Structures are given as structure tokens and as C-alpha cells.
Structure 1
């Protein structure tokens, strides 16, 4: 990976964490939150591919939990959002329809991953209660990320 790529992905990660931290809605019954982190992950996966999506996704989720006071979720977020970004990155050169299908699968990774994390940390009831909020976060973040990625043709034209 070239220095320019590393710096670009680091800046996207920092921006994603900052935006997600500003638009953070705590969810009391799951001890988690709703945020816009997924928008940056979808954007990064579609613009920078699987590796870029995985790096931005994993680091963004990890750092957001650290800075937001949810350290119990840091490692879960690293894996869940990293997987989400890598999966979305596989659809980088695909049609919009195929991108939507892959993003749907990534939302499934998000919902299933946090269902498992919430259930492990706080019991099955917390896992079940978190499904709706994680689904909402995934859908809103995916929609916003798709719009942003479609608006970035100059960035996408560069070889990563």
C-alpha cells in the first residue's frame, strides 16, 4: 500500500469517526448507540475496495467505541465493521443492483454481529432488542454511503 493510500484511508477513518461521534444516539437497553459510521464504511468499500473498506470499517468502529465510552464493544466493532467494509468492497466494480444486494448482506453482518455481541455481553433480551436499531442504522448508513460513493467519481477513477 502506498503512502498516499494510507494517508487517504487514515483521513477517511478520522472523518468517519468524527461524523459518527457527532451524530451519536445512545440506546439504553442495549448499552450501545446508533450512529452514521456505516455511511463511511459503505463509501470506503465502494470507492477504495475490499481492503480500504475493511481498514476504514474496522478502525472506525473500534475508535468510535473507544471515544464514545463503549470500550466493551471495541473488538466486536473491529471485526463486525471490518467484515462489513471488506464485503462491501467486493462490489466496488459491480452494478448498482449488485451493490445493493451486497450491502444488504453487509447489513446482515452488522445486525447478526451486534446481536451476538449484545447477547454475549448482556443476555439474549439485549440482543433481540438491538436488532431493530442496528437494522435502522445499517439501512440509513448504507443509503447515505451509496449516495456519497456515487458522488465521488474522481476519487474512484484513481487506482487503489
Structure 2
């Protein structure tokens, strides 16, 4: 539980320090996905979902994007949960890649609908590429750091 709390805090820090505003969606691109994916990889689906949901919610509330808070809770919560579930269902290298891909796709689709609901379909469409890039960068960081963290913390990769 301590590691999950630290990863939640890390997701919030990554989301605030590495922040690129997107004027056309009134949202932003950040690196919170890296900590969400690491949480799902090290601790499993339920912690990954909890870290993701609350990190997205808190980030939006403290960043001035309260209109996105419920959507981010769902988008990043499902991202962490489904990434962890796929990795548990299909262990090994392919499970990690498939889990990360599913997480990215779910997050991008959720934000497409959030932007479309809050603004319009064009805004939702404009957010697809930056959200995909955000997810891919987060996945790459998670792939680079999950194994060394697992070894250092003596955790079995979930």
C-alpha cells in the first residue's frame, strides 16, 4: 500500500512537472501515465486502477481543469485497471506490450468522448494524437523503469 501511495504521488508530480497545455482541447499532455503503468505492472490491476483514477482526478482538480476530473478518474482508472488485468491474464513480454496498448487505447478513447461531450467532435478528434503520444511516452518510461524497480524492491512482476 505504501508503494501504491508513492506511485500515486509520483503520478501527480509527473503530471504537474511535465505539462504541455493543449489550447484546442483546453486540457494538457503530461507524464502521469508512466506512474500509472508502473503501478499496474508492479502491483496489479486494482492498484493500477486506483493509482490511475485518483491521479487523474487530483491532477485535474489542482490544475484548474475540474470539468475533466470525473472523466480523468474513469479514463486513467480504466487505463491502470485494464493494463494490469491484461498483464495478469497474459504474463510475459507480449502481455506487457498488449496490456500497455490496451491501456493507451482505453485512455485515448475515453478522452475522445470526454472532449466531444465537453466541447465538440472536432475537439475530441484533435485530442487523439496528443493523448496517444502521452500514452506511448508513459508506456516507454514504464517499460524502462518497471524491471529495475521490481528487482530493487524485490517484487514479483504482476
Q: TM-score, with normalisation over the residues of structure 2?
A: 0.92
C-alpha distance in structure 2 between counterparts of 1:68 and 1:140, whole Å:
21
Q: Is the 8 A contact 1:47 1:156 kept in 2?
A: no
Write the distance in 2 (CA, Å) between the matches of 1:112 and 1:149. Answer: 25
C-alpha distance in structure 1 between counterparts of 2:112 and 2:8, whole Å: 24
Answering whether residue 118 of structure 2 is matched by residue 124 of structure 1, we say no
84-93 or 24-33, which deviates more? 84-93
Q: Single out whichever of 101-110 and 44-53 deviates more from structure 2.
A: 101-110
* Structure 1 residue 102 corresponds to structure 2 residue 117: no
Tell me if 1:22 matches 2:27.
no
| Unmatched 5+ stretches in structure 1 | none
1:156: Cα distance to partner?
Answer: 5.4
Q: Whole-Å Cα distance in 2 between the matches of residues 29 and 45 of structure 1?
A: 31
Where in structure 2 are there 5+ consecutive unaligned residues? none
- The 1:74–1:156 alpha-carbon spacing in structure 2 relative to 1, beyond 3 Å, is farther
Deviation at 1:153, TM superposition (A): 2.1
Aligned counterpart for 2:155 among listed residues 131, 154, 157: 157
Aligned-residue CA RMSD (Å): 1.7
Q: How many residues align?
A: 155
1:31 aligned partner: 26
Cα deviation for residue 145 of structure 1 reads: 1.2
Output the CA distance in 2 between the equivalents of 1:37 and 1:57: 8
Query: How much has 1:57 moved relative to structure 2?
Result: 0.5
Alpha-carbon distance, 1:157 to partner: 2.1
